[in-house]
Structures are given as structure tokens and as C-alpha cells.
Homo-oligomer: A and B are copies of this chain.
């Protein structure tokens, strides 16, 4: 039974009434009944119970084990449910302390795409991986948001242990590849966008329609085995260096919660084709400030506002060939890195490719918030994971 109300919301808490992210939780009483909850401060509102108690027309979308039915319902429903949730906050009957519930992967992932949208990150990585290239950015970089598909089946919820992957690696000086646990395990701090409203095959999504399709935003750690990746990725891209695990926050913050944090992306240095040209549109960036901590110590503060390509441009690009969207499609920004050395989004950049890398037992935690209305903060749920030793097979 709920013991506490939400009255104890501390000032500046990034999970106040301007945030209201959705997740899926169970209680110790009913471990077999995952359902939709809304985070409020250090509490979880049982949205399924509140909807039933208040006779909401949307109760059937909330007493579900994933967010997918709500996500598929479309933007008018998202707005209506959010308004109802605000009303339910006054009723203290349906709250659980956050530390007394279990959080689950909040949605069924359909396809997972990872972009590469920070010019600072791409430049830094280009200099490390391709030191002899005349330009650290490939010629296409300023013309399209580069992306690739990742493994949807290994997206895990924050808190899931990450087993150190094993694989092939070969340094240029090695005669032959060797096999074993990755020696260069890295994190990548990213922001993920979750698709709600699907599309038909053959139907591109324009920049203007972005908000009709994207349900919400999460924080994401795209764990990377740099030694595996470096050996495998030419010519078809990253595969096993990434596919062992991708962690997402347990909370999906609705897109509209970031309305007050919109910001213009960096000035574009190359002309854009019309389907990507957002020069006349509302600002497509989000002033989201990420903090990356290892074992409780902050090591870098990547600014999402520095991303060259916006989430709307990524969606427009991803669908311009007619590729359809499904409810549950997840696409991530790529590593968020700013221009300063203490703003880079992964250890590869932070250590200039030299390490140290993640050690067994290390706990990596990403947090993020953006300015909300009236001096408030709007948070993304944290994404955390502990490295556990490679299995012996």
C-alpha cells in the first residue's frame, strides 16, 4: 500500500509537475502486474490505479505492461493523458516511494537506430580512428545525419548489469587477431527518442511532423567495446562492439516537457537539401545538460545543445527513403560531446584513445536535466549500469 504522498517535493527537483515521465513498474505485493507509472519527485504515481479511481477514459492504456499502447495512441491522447495525470497528483492515494518499486524496460523496442550527430565527437573519433585522413569528418558528415541500425533485442533498462563482452580484436601491430574479454570497454552518453505514432511504408516524415510521431525522450548509454569495434567496423559499420548491451533510462519524458528548453542548433556550415533544411523552423535543439559519473565521481558534462543535427532532422532523414516507423522505434543521438575537453561523451575522447577504460565493478551513471518553465528543471531518468566480469564459456 502507498505510504507517502508527493508533498515532500524538494525545490529544484527535476521530476516536478513540469516533467511527469512515464515508466513501467511493479510492487513487491504484485510482482506479476507491471503497469504504467509516472515519476513525481522520489515517488511513483500508479497511473493505472489513479486512472481507474478517477474513471479515466484512458485507464485501458495505462494498466498495461509496456508504454506501447499509450505511445501508439497519438499526440492528442498523449496531451489528454498528461493533463489528467496533472490532476491526479493532488490525490495522494496512488503513490509509492520510488525505492520500493521495481522499474522495468518501459517499452518494447521495435527498431533501434544510432546516429552520430555531434561534430565534436565525430571529429575527435575521426582523429583517433583515422589519424592519416586529411579531414577527421567524412565528406558526407555535414550533408546528412549519419546513422546505422543497432540491436533492439539487447536494449536493457537502467540498473541492469553489463557483462563485459568477449570478442575479436587486433591492434595494427598484432600479426593476427586474438580473442577474449574486451580490454577497451567504454560508455557513450546519448539521448534517445522514442517513436509513438507509426507510419506506412513509403511515407517520409517531414521536419514539421516530428512532434506528431515522437512520444518522448530518454537517456541512453551505448556501451562500446572499442577494441572489438576498431577491428570489425570496416566496411559495414559497428556490430559486436555495440550489440552486447544498450542501457536506457527507466523513464520516458514526454517531448513537450522540453518546450521551454528549445534552442537553436549550431550554425550550419554547409547548405542543406530541402528535406533537412530547418532554417525557417522553430529551434530544433534541446538545452539538455548531461552529467556522466563513474563510481559516483563526475567525469564529464556533455551539452546536448551542441549537437549539429537535431532529432527532427534525424527522423526526416531516417524516413526520407520511405522506411516506415513502428511504435517503439528508438533512435539515439549518438555520443553527445561539446567543444571543451570536460564536455566529451565517452572515454575514447576523454583519454585520447589511451585509456584507462572501464574496469570490472565500475558503475556508470548518466543524469540529465533541461531548464523548464519558471525556473524549474525538467529531468531525464538516470541510466546506470555496473560492469561485471566476462563469463567463462
Contacts and interface: CB of A to CB of B under 8 A. Distances in A.
B273 A243 contact: no
Contact of A321 (B130, B177, B203, B243): B243
Given A148-B236, A177-B273, A323-B240, A168 B154 contact: no
Chain A interface size, as a band, is: 35 or more
Interface stretch (A47-55, A139-147, A252-260): A139-147
Interface majority SS (helix, strand, loop, mixed), chain A: loop
A309 interface: no
A235 B243 CA distance: 17
B153 A168 contact: no
Interface in A212-268: 225, 228, 231-241, 243-245
Contacts of A275: 179
A236 B273 contact: no
A21 interface: no
B391 A228 contact: no
A325 B237 CA distance: 20
Contact of A167 (B163, B201, B237, B321): B321
Nearest to A144: B168
A117 to B, nearest CB: 12
A225 B321 contact: yes
B153 A244 contact: no
A111 interface: yes
Interface in A152-196: 152-154, 156, 163, 165-168, 170, 176-179
B167 A320 contact: yes
Copies in the complex: 2
A153 B240 contact: no
A204 B393 contact: yes
A112 B153 CA distance: 10
A42 interface: no
B237 A235 contact: yes
A318 interface: yes
A324 interface: yes
A116 B235 CA distance: 10
A127 interface: no
A329 interface: yes
Contacts of A225: 321
Contacts of A317: 240
A165 B321 contact: yes
Given A273-B177, A321-B243, A168 B149 contact: no
A126 B241 CA distance: 23
A110 interface: yes
A322 interface: yes
A387 to B, nearest CB: 13
A82 interface: no
A159 to B, nearest CB: 14
Interface hub of A151, A166, A204, A275 (most chain B Cβ within 10 A): A151
Contact of A271 (B111, B176, B324): B176
Nearest to A326: B153
B326 A140 contact: no
A126 B38 CA distance: 52
A355 interface: no
Interface string A372-393: 0000000000000000000101
Contacts of A154: 201, 323-324
A194 to B, nearest CB: 14
Given A111-B152, A236-B238, A240-B320, 11 more contacts: A112-B149, A139-B170, A143-B168, A146-B232, A149-B239, A154-B323, A165-B321, A165-B322, A168-B273, A240-B317, A240-B323
